[in-house]
Amino acid sequence: MHTSHHLSGDDATDLRRRTRFMEQLDIAIRSANRELLSKALPQLDHDAFFRLAVGVAKVRASYLAAVMAVDWHAPSADEIARLADLRGQYEEAKAGFDALRHAVDRGYAPLHLGETPHSDGE
């Protein structure tokens, strides 16, 4: 049995309409995000982004240090509760960082790059 890979006229028209709709949707999403995020994050620059990255790393380090400090043969309820709290902090910090990174990557957030810090050999 031979099947054709050609679209019928109606299918091709429908595909073009859906493609055009998705392009318009992407434009609307980008526009709304740019407008709202430029107001919410007016100072988003290299330093602010890296401060957030360091903050996430600190929360991760606190969580993992606490995990390593637990006696896993007999963990107390307080230790488990503390770990759950620290894990929640880490997961929220990471999710926030990932969301911001996605917004910058998609062009939603106004990242003011200018001159980036660099090493001068010192």
pLDDT in tens, 50-106: 999 999 999 999 999 999 999 999 999 999 999 999 999 999 999 999 999 999 999
* Residue 27 belongs to a domain: yes
* Residue 30 belongs to a domain: yes
* Residue 1 belongs to a domain: no
Q: What is the mean pLDDT of residues 8-24?
A: 92
Tokens representing residue 46 in the block: 């290299």
* Residue 50 belongs to a domain: yes
List pLDDT tens digits, range 84-100: 999 999 999 999 999 99
Q: How many domains does the chain have?
A: 1
* Residue 115 belongs to a domain: no
* Residue 121 belongs to a domain: no
Q: Which structural domain, as residue segments, surrounds residue 28?
A: 9-105
What confidence score (pLDDT) does residue 4 get? 54
* Residue 70 belongs to a domain: yes
DSSP secondary structure letters along 80-98? HHHHHHHHHHHHHHHHHHH
* Residue 116 belongs to a domain: no
Strand partners, 45: 112
